[in-house]
């Protein structure tokens, strides 16, 4: 039992922090400082706990595991790694929130609480060892997301986005659950290791392949593709992203996405691992569609938030390239996927934070025109935005570049190992990266090369925002310039599920 | 440490400028660039030229020498065997010194024209210098790629912020062209590294190390399939940079819109990155594929030489004329490289250096006249000899150098290239030689229209605004002029410097002899030129005078709006 509590420690701590913020808001309603202290301080404790639990588990090579609650929950290198990413994402989102929310009269406390609960859901996904836990965790992660999307409830777009997000999200959850039922029906167990063993028997030919399994696999893929917003299951993203308050959009574009990738790692890589070569083909097609369509549509956007929304679809595609390479038997693919996930979180959150900072005054849109002349008006914001956009484009020496290089290297490796389709993915990915340069750099053009329509005064930004931006930008550069130490961590995490 | 210093000193300067008042930006930038130049000269003084070992001891005939000197290597990303590895040989030394020289000249030449956001301009320029020297000194393919991309961003900003009317169109075009090429090169670099790793039992060490890769390519060699694909990807990246026909269309736009100093660096150094890449990487790593592709590249070079010259002739804009002349002149570089012959390769390297000096100077001179008239239209000029005699004389000097007047450096490179091509591909050489007449024609005709004759009404209308060159301008051009004369009279200085890299590169590709080009290819190439030019003439006729690219300016404006 004590072992169980130890394993679940970080998760419990996360829930406690969320409740703590809730209580603080009851005691001192509407106060900003106590909420931030409890939320950020609490997150620091959760992070410390995650690291201690993780290092207690991970022996030399990170393959050691703790199984808890009768094998329903697992702590291994991957759990620790993903947990830390989720904690970081939520901490940065809370840091970037207050300025924007204040200007629109939206409360900070509820924002933080909902985010913290979403985080616990994502952390639970990362440690799921049972299909049912996996599903509950998924719902725990996405339900707060619907609330966040509609957080600006007096704003029509926010509400519209939230409803679309909610309807399509619940629909996809249902499909996903349906798929799980088929898998359970075929294999007779909900335990991930058990499913994997049962499927191995099927693949080895000792048991027949049932149509139900194929159907289940199809449903699962569809459900997950919705969650990561892979084309052609991406229709909810642009509206949900554009309508949501900007800090929320930043969170939605990384948190649930990385969470859904965690789900993929636990479900497809772990449980459905034996069927790797079957879903590999689907992933290749999804990756090509996702990268290409996401980029093509992003090219035509005039709203930066919407542009970033479509570009986040394209980034999903790059991560799928890593997944495809891993499915083709290249461990580097998984490492690339994990590295890319972390890199993408940092740079995308940074970019959204700048957009949020520019919208400090209520009523300022996120259209391209808002960015005209920013380089003169607020040079530091413009320089940071340029850094994040260059990183998203994949220009060295930023972390975005190194992430792309790793995924592409993995795909090239898979191509040379005989999986030509995955090799072609590498070429598709780089052509897409070049096309993406056009719309990312267009923002830079507006910031530095266009004069503003009207002379606007620079806005004051909180120290918290600058601090968060400093962390994001330093990480963006350092992870790209000296990736060595971080790669060691990534490798340990990847080892946990055979990468 | 010297090589690290020469690469990163400009970055230090850029950071200092970032935290200093804007009024110091100019002088700090110039001081940094001069200090970097001094270090590069110090490196040159300590460099052992010729066929020597790394300590400078002469070696027996037939030996190829120690290769790279002053090598610095640190493990950077050990998991993939990626190193921070710099090293220098004669080829990189020549190009590094060219870069550092042109950098301080460009910064000095920007003092007057650049009046807005000086701080940002100087920082961009110094970071540009980091990228350029880094490319020439990297001995790790991954590091090479990083520096290659680092060059892109500051140039994008320089054209996009301080450029002319259509700067945004031009700069986006420049970035997209370059990025498509370079990203495919990244795939090739990674594929090559993986092939090396696969052949060494999955050990990554050395997979990105240029010397290790070259040694492997020289012994076992990469598989044919990899060579053909990787060469094609490298080729695309380098061909866009050079730029070779038909990947050249970004160049006239970028040049026309860039500020003067941007054009100088673009023509002087950035185009050389492509030539350097061909010599350093394509030939050494993929020797068999080089032979396969050589005929195609030779034909494309010929087309570039002819097409560039013909199109230059009809340009109404001085800067566009010089830009197209670059396409023509850089065609000699790729031609010289791919005849796989010592004089040819010597000529190609010399042509790169000399084109950097001469075209850099020509862009500076166009900038001088533009500063005064705010116009570059050739038809509005005339009679500058009477109005600004010093300018006319200096302009004339560099025009003749560019036309390849014997005794000046422009001649040597082209002559050696032609000599080299003649021994292997006489047909190609014959056609290319004929084009030298065209070069003389467009340059001298331009010179006649701009400098000779009666002063035009437009220039007379400017009255006292049209002053002769000032001391700063003469000071920026003097070193270039001196080098043009020195290298013209004593090309041996450079030839001795590059002998070792040239011979070792040729040794890498000489296992198979150069494939002579079939005259059929030449005629097909000429047919393509004719078709392209005919197509352009037809497409442009309804909109204006049917004269090649003369209406391209309006087309560009139409596309940008």
* pLDDT one-digit tens code per residue, B5-22: 999 999 999 989 888 888
* Cα(A478)–Cα(A295) distance, integer angstroms: 27
Which of B152, B160, B172 lies at the smallest CB-CB distance from A395? Answer: B152
Confidence at residue B307, expressed as pLDDT on a 0 to 100 scale: 87
Confidence at residue B551, expressed as pLDDT on a 0 to 100 scale: 39
3-state DSSP call for residue A300?
coil
Give the pLDDT mean for A433-457.
Answer: 81
Q: Which residue has the higher pLDDT, B1 or B277?
A: B277
Least confident of A399-408, B232-241, B286-295: B286-295
Which of A403, A484, A485 to mutate against chain B (most B CBs within 10 Å)? A484
Nearest CA to A135 among A219, A214, A202? A219
Q: Residue A437 belongs to what domain range?
A: 2-495
Confidence at residue B526, expressed as pLDDT on a 0 to 100 scale: 62
* Cα(A371)–Cα(A357) distance, integer angstroms: 11
Of the CA atoms within 13 Å of residue A447, those in its CB half-sphere come to 25
Instruction: Check pLDDT > 50 for residue B543.
Output: no
Confidence at residue A455, expressed as pLDDT on a 0 to 100 scale: 65
Listing DSSP states for A231-260 in one string gives TTS-THHHHHHHHS-HHHHHHHHHHHHHHH
Which of B152, B187, B195 lies at the smallest CB-CB distance from A430? Answer: B187
Q: What angle do CA B80, A408, B245 make, to 5 degrees?
A: 110
Whether residue B76 lies within 8 A of chain A, CB to CB, comes out as yes
Q: In whole numbers, what is the pLDDT of chain B averaged over residues? A: 83
Confidence at residue B546, expressed as pLDDT on a 0 to 100 scale: 38
Estimate to the nearest angstrom the gap between the alpha carbon of A108 and the chain centroid.
22
Cβ contact, residue pair B183, A431, below 8 Å? yes
Instruction: Check pLDDT > 70 for residue A64.
Output: no
Confidence at residue A15, expressed as pLDDT on a 0 to 100 scale: 93
The residue of chain B nearest to residue A436, with distances taken between CA atoms, is B176
Whether residue B386 lies within 8 A of chain A, CB to CB, comes out as no
Give the pLDDT mean for A266-288.
Answer: 86
Whether residue B486 lies within 8 A of chain A, CB to CB, comes out as no
Which of B78, B168, B183 lies at the smallest CB-CB distance from A449? Answer: B168
Taken in order B549, B550, B552, B558, the sign of the CA dihedral is negative
Instruction: Check pLDDT > 60 for residue B540.
Output: no
Give the pLDDT mean for B415-432.
Answer: 86
Confidence at residue B549, expressed as pLDDT on a 0 to 100 scale: 42
Cβ contact, residue pair B191, A416, below 8 Å? yes
Give the pLDDT mean for A90-100.
Answer: 91
| Contact predicate A436/A404, CB 8 Å | no
A423 CA: distance to closest CA in chain B (Å): 10
Give the pLDDT mean for B112-136.
Answer: 89
Q: What ipTM score was computed for the predicted complex, to two decimals?
A: 0.82
Instruction: Check pLDDT > 60 for residue A58.
Output: no
Q: Which residue has the higher pLDDT, A454 or A483?
A: A483
Estimate to the nearest angstrom the gap between the alpha carbon of B190 and the chain centroid.
25
pLDDT band at B101 (very low <50, low <70, confident <90, very high): very high
β-pair partners for B73: B85
* Cα(B129)–Cα(B144) distance, integer angstroms: 14
Q: Which chain B residues are within 8 Å of A433, Cβ to Cβ?
A: 179, 183
Q: Which residue has the higher pLDDT, B534 or A329?
A: A329
Between the alpha carbon of residue B320 and those of residues A57, B184, B550, the distances in Å are 66, 29, 10
* Phi, psi (rounded to 5 degrees) for A74: -135, 140
Q: Which residues contact B532 (CB under 8 A, 6 or more apart)?
A: B246, B307
* Cα(B166)–Cα(B257) distance, integer angstroms: 6
Listing DSSP states for A385-400 in one string gives HHHHHHHHHT-TTSHH
Instruction: Check pLDDT > 70 for residue B183.
Output: yes
Number of domains comprising chain A: 1
β-pair partners for B140: B209
Confidence at residue B96, expressed as pLDDT on a 0 to 100 scale: 93
Q: What angle do CA B247, B305, B331 make, to 5 degrees?
A: 65
Least confident of A85-99, B221-235, B347-361: B221-235
Confidence at residue A216, expressed as pLDDT on a 0 to 100 scale: 87
Confidence at residue B557, expressed as pLDDT on a 0 to 100 scale: 37
Q: Which residue has the higher pLDDT, B124 or B460?
A: B124
Instruction: Check pLDDT > 90 for residue A19.
Output: yes
Instruction: Check pLDDT > 50 for residue B545.
Output: no
Confidence at residue B147, expressed as pLDDT on a 0 to 100 scale: 92
Whether residue B232 lies within 8 A of chain A, CB to CB, comes out as no
A374 CA: distance to closest CA in chain B (Å): 13
Cβ contact, residue pair B175, A488, below 8 Å? no
Whether residue B156 lies within 8 A of chain A, CB to CB, comes out as yes
Whether residue B17 lies within 8 A of chain A, CB to CB, comes out as no
The residues spanned by each domain of chain B are 286-561
Cβ contact, residue pair B157, A412, below 8 Å? no
Cβ contact, residue pair A487, B176, below 8 Å? no
pLDDT band at A233 (very low <50, low <70, confident <90, very high): confident
A and B: number of Cβ contacts within 8 A: 84
Whether residue B184 lies within 8 A of chain A, CB to CB, comes out as yes
Which of B78, B150, B186, B560 to mutate against chain A (most A CBs within 10 Å)? B186
Q: Which chain B residues are within 8 Å of A415, Cβ to Cβ?
A: 191
Q: Which residue has the higher pLDDT, B32 or B438?
A: B32
Least confident of A17-26, A294-303, A458-467, B57-66: B57-66
Least confident of B60-69, B88-97, B159-168, B286-295: B60-69
The runs of H, that is alpha helices, within B47-166 are 90-109, 118-137, 141-162
Instruction: Check pLDDT > 70 for residue B513.
Output: no
Instruction: Check pLDDT > 80 for residue B465.
Output: no
Instruction: Report the first-to-last Cα separation within chain B, whole angstroms.
Output: 49
């Amino acid at each position: 039992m004590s072992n169980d509590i130890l394993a679940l420690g970080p998760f419990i701590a996360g829930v406690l922090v969320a409740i703590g913020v809730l209580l603080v808001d009851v005691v001192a309603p509407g106060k900003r400082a106590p909420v931030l202290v409890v939320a950020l301080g609490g997150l620091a404790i959760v992070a410390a706990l995650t690291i201690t639990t993780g290092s207690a588990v991970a022996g030399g090579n990170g393959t050691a595991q703790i199984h808890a609650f009768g094998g329903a929950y697992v702590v291994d290198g991957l759990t620790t790694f993903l947990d830390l990413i989720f904690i970081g994402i939520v901490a940065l989102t809370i840091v970037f929130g207050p300025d924007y929310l204040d200007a629109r009269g939206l409360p900070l406390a509820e924002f933080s609480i909902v985010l913290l609960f979403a985080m616990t859901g994502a952390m639970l996904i990362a440690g799921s060892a049972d299909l049912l836990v996996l599903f509950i965790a998924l719902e725990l992660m996405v339900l707060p997301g619907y609330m966040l999307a509609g957080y600006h409830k007096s704003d029509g777009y926010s509400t519209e986005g939230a409803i679309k997000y909610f309807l399509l999200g619940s629909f996809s959850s249902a499909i996903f659950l349906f798929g799980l039922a088929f898998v359970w029906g075929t294999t007779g167990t909900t335990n991930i290791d058990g499913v994997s063993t049962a499927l191995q028997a099927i693949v080895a030919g000792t048991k027949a392949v049932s149509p139900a399994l194929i159907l289940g696999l199809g449903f699962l893929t569809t459900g997950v593709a919705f969650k990561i917003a892979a084309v052609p299951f991406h229709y909810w993203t642009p509206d949900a992203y554009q309508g949501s308050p900007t800090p929320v959009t930043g969170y939605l574009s990384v948190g649930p996405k990385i969470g859904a990738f965690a789900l993929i790692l636990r479900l497809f890589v772990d449980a459905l691992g034996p069927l790797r070569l079957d879903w590999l083909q689907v992933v290749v097609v999804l990756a090509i569609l996702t990268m290409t369509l996401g980029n093509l549509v992003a090219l035509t956007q005039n709203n930066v938030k919407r542009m970033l929304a479509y570009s986040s679809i394209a980034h999903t595609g790059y991560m799928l390239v890593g997944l495809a390479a891993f499915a083709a038997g290249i461990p580097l693919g998984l490492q690339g996927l994990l590295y890319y996930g972390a890199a993408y979180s940092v740079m995308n959150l940074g970019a959204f934070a700048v957009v949020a900072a520019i919208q400090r005054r209520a009523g300022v849109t996120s259209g391209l025109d808002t960015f005209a002349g920013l380089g003169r008006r607020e040079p530091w914001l413009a320089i940071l935005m340029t850094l994040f956009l260059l990183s998203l484009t994949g220009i060295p020496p930023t972390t975005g570049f190194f992430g792309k290089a790793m995924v592409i290297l993995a795909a090239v490796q898979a191509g040379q190992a005989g999986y030509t389709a995955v090799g072609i993915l590498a070429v598709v990915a780089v052509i897409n990266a070049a096309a993406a340069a056009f719309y990312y750099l267009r923002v830079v053009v507006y910031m530095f090369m266009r004069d503003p329509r009207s002379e606007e005064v620079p806005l004051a930004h909180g120290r918290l925002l600058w601090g968060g931006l400093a962390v994001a930008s330093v990480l963006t550069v350092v992870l790209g310039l000296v990736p060595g130490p971080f790669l060691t961590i990534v490798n340990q995490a990847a080892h946990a599920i055979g990468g | 440490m010297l090589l690290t210093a020469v690469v990163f000193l400009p970055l230090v300067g850029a950071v200092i400028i970032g935290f200093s008042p804007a009024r110091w930006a100019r002088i700090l930038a110039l001081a940094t660039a001069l200090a970097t130049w001094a270090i590069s000269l110090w490196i040159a003084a300590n460099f052992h030229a010729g066929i020597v070992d790394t300590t400078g001891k002469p070696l027996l005939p037939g030996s190829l020498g120690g290769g790279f000197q002053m090598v610095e290597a640190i493990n950077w990303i050990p998991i993939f065997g990626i190193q921070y590895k710099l090293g220098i040989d004669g080829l990189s030394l020549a190009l590094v010194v060219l870069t550092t020289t042109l950098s301080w000249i460009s910064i000095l030449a920007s003092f007057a024209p650049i009046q807005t956001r000086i701080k940002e301009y100087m920082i961009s320029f110094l970071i540009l210098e980091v990228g350029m020297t880094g490319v020439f000194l990297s001995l790790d393919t991954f590091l090479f790629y990083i520096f290659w991309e680092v060059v892109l961003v500051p140039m994008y900003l320089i054209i996009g912020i301080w450029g002319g009317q259509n700067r945004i169109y031009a700069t986006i075009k420049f970035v997209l062209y370059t990025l498509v090429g370079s990203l495919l090169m990244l795939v090739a670099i990674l594929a090559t590294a993986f092939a090396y790793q696969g052949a060494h039992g999955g050990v990554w060490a050395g997979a990105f190390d240029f010397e290790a890769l070259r040694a492997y390519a020289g012994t076992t060699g990469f598989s044919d399939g990899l060579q053909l694909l990787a060469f094609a990807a490298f080729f695309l990246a380098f061909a866009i940079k050079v730029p070779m026909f038909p990947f050249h269309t970004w160049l006239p736009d970028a040049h026309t819109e860039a500020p003067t100093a941007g054009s100088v660096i673009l023509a002087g150094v950035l185009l050389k990155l492509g030539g350097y890449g061909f010599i350093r990487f394509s030939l050494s790593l993929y020797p068999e594929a080089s032979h396969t592709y050589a005929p195609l590249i030779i034909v494309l070079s010929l087309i570039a030489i002819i097409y560039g010259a013909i199109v230059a002739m009809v340009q109404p804009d001085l800067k566009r004329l010089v830009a197209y002349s670059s396409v023509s002149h850089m065609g000699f570089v790729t031609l010289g490289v791919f005849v796989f012959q010592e004089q040819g390769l010597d000529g190609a390297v010399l042509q790169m250096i000399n084109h950097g000096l001469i075209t850099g100077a020509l862009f500076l001179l166009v900038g001088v006249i533009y500063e005064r008239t705010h116009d570059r239209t050739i038809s509005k000029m005339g009679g500058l000899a009477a109005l600004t005699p010093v300018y006319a004389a200096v302009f004339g000097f560099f025009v003749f150098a560019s036309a390849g007047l014997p005794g000046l450096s422009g001649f040597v490179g082209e002559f050696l290239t032609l000599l080299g091509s003649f021994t292997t591909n006489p047909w190609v050489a014959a056609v290319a030689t004929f084009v030298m007449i065209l070069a003389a024609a467009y340059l001298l005709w331009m010179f006649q229209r701009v400098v000779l004759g009666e002063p035009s009404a437009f220039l007379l209308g400017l009255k006292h605004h049209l002053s002769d060159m000032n001391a700063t301008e003469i000071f920026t051009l003097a070193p270039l002029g001196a080098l043009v004369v020195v290298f013209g009279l004593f090309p041996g200085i450079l030839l001795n410097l590059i002998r070792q890299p040239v011979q070792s590169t040729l040794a890498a590709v000489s296992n198979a002899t150069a494939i002579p080009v079939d005259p059929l290819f030449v005629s097909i190439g000429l047919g393509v030129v004719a078709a392209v030019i005919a197509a352009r003439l037809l497409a442009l006729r309804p909109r204006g005078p049917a004269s090649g690219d003369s209406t391209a300016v309006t087309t560009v404006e139409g596309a940008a709006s």
